[in-house]
């Protein structure tokens, strides 16, 4: 296998990524940051909608973009509508859209391969298509929980399917972490299915390594950090932050952060520092200096705070961490000290109902995306809020697609001068016509 260090930032295989590509969850670097784009930050049912693509079923995953194609997942057959009560009919879809006009190019259907967690409780908040695809421009890779990881070519032909376990966490909430590519490996967080992080050969589908442990309820997408010529695969699990060798899955270092329960946000990259958010029943956040061997806790914990986010992953910009958390509070934290800069409610009184297909849930599930100096924060049922990314709270705009009353759980993608939103009903391309 080629050196992963040499390939980690060029893992788009033979096909070079461009500024219009958004090949994975939270964008090319897993930071959800776009330095420059002319994407309009004002839209409505009749304004700045380039196209709308109706989906076969609902989903909470994000769109990804490569070249002239948009990829999105959804599910049908069970729990997607009234009367769909036969779990054996659950089918996942990987849908390819034409980026220019939103027309469906192909729809690859994947029947359920194992008994999934039933449509009840928290799983109704996100469903069975929560994992965002990842692409290298040559193939598209998906993770469908107990149905495993799969690879498709760009015409929709399935190349392989690999089981990543069929277990369930004690809460039976399903799973939601997205796969990532590191060199020739597809990395899957299968903490719910197998209590393992799994490295899979992206060409053959064979499992190369498994990092196992008792760490269920780790729902975040792994991220990649480079420091002093070393590449670490970093993931937050309950109580600890792990730094793994991505070639072997071996644990290089760990730090005890103390966030208990489920840890859902992805780790935020900040040079040689990782920022960890999440936890339950109390959410917390912490900054951890990377590097070293073994237990690095004593010298690595830079600060800890009670200000946090339960599901949405924050944005790091100019020394500050920004997020609209699941409860609808916009927060800004000083990334150096952990001190609160502001905390302002965006949605009053849960906005008249924040989400959840059964009427429960919190108002925000999607993570913010930074475009230039503005944050795009998509709520489940109350539209998208545009905030200034500066250490003084400023609400710039509020955009609502009133004709779509379904949930918007997916984090947006940015492709050139266009923004891609997904709801349970459709994918929307926001841009100048």
For 275-288, the DSSP string reads EEEE-SSS-EEEEE
| 5-19, 48-62, 314-328, 336-350: segment of lowest average pLDDT | 5-19
Contact 381, 43 (CB under 8 A): no
Phi, psi for 227 (deg, rounded to 5): -155, 125
Instruction: Output DSSP code: residue 416.
Output: T
Sheet holding 315-317, edge to edge: 315-317, 320-324, 329-334, 340-345
* pLDDT, tens digit, 9 for 90 and up, residues 235-273: 999 999 999 999 999 999 999 998 998 899 999 999 999
- At residue 170, the pLDDT reads 77
Position 350 pLDDT exceeds 90:
no
Alpha-carbon gap, residue 277 to 310, rounded angstroms: 7
Confidence of residue 121 (pLDDT cuts 50, 70, 90): confident
Q: Label residue 361 left, alpha or beta by phi (over 0 means left) and psi (-120 to 50 means alpha).
A: left
- At residue 360, the pLDDT reads 53
Alpha-carbon gap, residue 169 to 147, rounded angstroms: 16
- At residue 397, the pLDDT reads 97
Contact 253, 291 (CB under 8 A): yes
Position 2 pLDDT exceeds 80:
no
Q: Residue 402 has which token pair?
A: 């009133």
Instruction: Output DSSP code: residue 25.
Output: T
Q: Closest Cα partner for 22 from 58, 70, 61, 55?
A: 70
- At residue 15, the pLDDT reads 53
- At residue 228, the pLDDT reads 81
Contact 156, 138 (CB under 8 A): no
Position 182 pLDDT exceeds 80:
yes
Position 320 pLDDT exceeds 80:
yes
Q: Which residue in the block uniquely carries the two structure tokens 């520092």?
A: 273
* pLDDT, tens digit, 9 for 90 and up, residues 83-118: 999 999 999 999 999 999 999 999 999 999 998 999
Confidence of residue 20 (pLDDT cuts 50, 70, 90): confident
Give the sign of the dihedral formed by CA 284, CA 289, CA 290, CA 291.
negative
Position 138 pLDDT exceeds 70:
yes
More confident call, 156 vs 12: 156
Q: What share of residues in the chain are helix, strand, coil (percent, to 5)? A: 5, 40, 55
3-class state of residue 352 by DSSP: helix
Contact 260, 277 (CB under 8 A): no
- At residue 359, the pLDDT reads 43
Instruction: Give the mean model confidence (pLDDT) for residues 176-181.
Output: 96
Instruction: Give the mean model confidence (pLDDT) for residues 405-411.
Output: 96
Instruction: Output DSSP code: residue 300.
Output: H
* pLDDT, tens digit, 9 for 90 and up, residues 358-400: 445 789 999 999 999 999 999 999 999 999 999 999 999 999 9
DSSP of 158-207: EEEEE-------TT-----PPPEEETTEEEEEEHHHHSEEEEEETTT--E
> What percentage of the chain exceeds 70 in pLDDT?
93
Q: Which residues, other chains included, contact 167 with Cβ-Cβ below 8 Å and sequence gap of 6+?
A: 192, 193, 194, 195
Position 298 pLDDT exceeds 50:
yes
Confidence of residue 10 (pLDDT cuts 50, 70, 90): very low
User: What pTM was computed for the model?
Assistant: 0.93
- At residue 66, the pLDDT reads 97
Instruction: Give the mean model confidence (pLDDT) for residues 224-228.
Output: 87
Q: Residue 356 has which token pair?
A: 């959840």
- At residue 433, the pLDDT reads 79
Query: Is the peptide bond prior to 3 cis by the omega test (within 30 degrees of 0)?
Result: no
3-class state of residue 208 by DSSP: strand
| Averaged confidence pLDDT in the chain | 92
Instruction: Give the mean model confidence (pLDDT) for residues 49-66.
Output: 98
Give the sign of the dihedral formed by CA 69, CA 70, CA 76, CA 82.
negative
Q: Are strands 33-34 and 369-371 parallel, antiparallel or unpaired?
A: parallel
3-class state of residue 311 by DSSP: coil
Q: Which residue in the block uniquely carries the two structure tokens 């495993």?
A: 148
> Cα separations (Å) of 35 from 40, 56, 370, 392?
15, 33, 8, 20
DSSP of 55-82: -SS---PPPEEETTEEEEEEEESSSSST
Q: Which residues, other chains included, contact 66 with Cβ-Cβ below 8 Å and sequence gap of 6+?
A: 12, 15, 17, 21, 23, 135, 137
Position 132 pLDDT exceeds 60:
yes
- At residue 101, the pLDDT reads 97
Instruction: Give the mean model confidence (pLDDT) for residues 404-432.
Output: 97
Contact 420, 429 (CB under 8 A): yes
Contact 266, 30 (CB under 8 A): yes
Contact 222, 183 (CB under 8 A): no
Instruction: Give the mean model confidence (pLDDT) for residues 69-86.
Output: 96
């Amino acid at each position: 296998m080629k050196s992963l260090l040499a390939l980690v930032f060029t893992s788009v295989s033979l096909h070079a990524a461009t500024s219009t590509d958004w090949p994975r969850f939270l964008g090319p670097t897993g930071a959800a940051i776009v330095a420059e784009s002319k994407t309009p930050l004002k839209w409505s049912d009749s304004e700045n909608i380039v196209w709308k693509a109706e989906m076969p079923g609902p989903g909470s995953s994000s769109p990804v973009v490569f070249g002239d194609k948009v990829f999105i997942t959804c599910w049908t057959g069970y729990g997607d509508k009234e009367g769909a009560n036969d779990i054996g009919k659950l089918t996942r879809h990987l849908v390819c859209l034409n980026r220019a006009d939103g027309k469906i190019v192909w729809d690859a259907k994947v029947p359920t391969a194992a008994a999934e967690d039933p449509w009840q409780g928290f799983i109704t908040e996100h469903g069975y298509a929560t994992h965002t695809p990842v692409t290298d421009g040559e193939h598209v890779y998906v993770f469908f929980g107990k149905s495993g990881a799969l690879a498709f070519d760009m015409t929709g032909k399935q190349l392989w399917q690999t089981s990543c376990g069929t277990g369930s966490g004690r809460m039976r909430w399903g799973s939601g972490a997205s796969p990532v590519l590191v060199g020739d490996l597809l990395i899957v967080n299968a903490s719910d299915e197998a209590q393992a992080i799994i490295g899979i050969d992206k060409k053959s589908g064979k499992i190369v390594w498994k990092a196992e442990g008792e760490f269920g309820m780790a729902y975040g997408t792994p991220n990649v950090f480079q420091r002093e010529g070393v590449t670490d695969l970093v993931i937050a699990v309950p109580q600890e932050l792990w730094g793994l060798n991505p070639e072997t899955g071996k644990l290089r270092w760990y730090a005890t952060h103390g966030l208990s329960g489920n840890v859902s946000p992805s780790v935020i990259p900040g040079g040689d520092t990782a920022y960890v958010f999440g936890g339950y029943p109390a959410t917390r956040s912490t900054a951890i200096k990377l590097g070293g061997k073994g237990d690095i806790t004593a010298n690595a914990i830079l600060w800890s705070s009670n200000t946090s986010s339960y599901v949405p992953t924050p944005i790091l910009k100019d020394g500050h961490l920004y997020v609209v958390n699941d409860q609808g509070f916009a927060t800004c934290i000083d990334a150096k000290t952990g001190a609160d800069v502001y905390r302002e409610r965006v949605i009053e009184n849960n906005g008249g109902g924040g989400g959840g297909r059964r009427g429960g849930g919190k108002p925000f599930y999607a993570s913010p995306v930074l475009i230039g100096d503005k944050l795009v924060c998509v709520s489940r049922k109350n539209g998208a809020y545009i905030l200034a990314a500066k250490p003084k709270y400023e609400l710039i705009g509020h955009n609502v697609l009133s004709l779509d009353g379904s949930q918007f759980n997916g984090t947006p993608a940015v492709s050139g001068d266009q923004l891609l939103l997904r709801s349970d009903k459709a994918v929307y391309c926001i841009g100048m016509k």
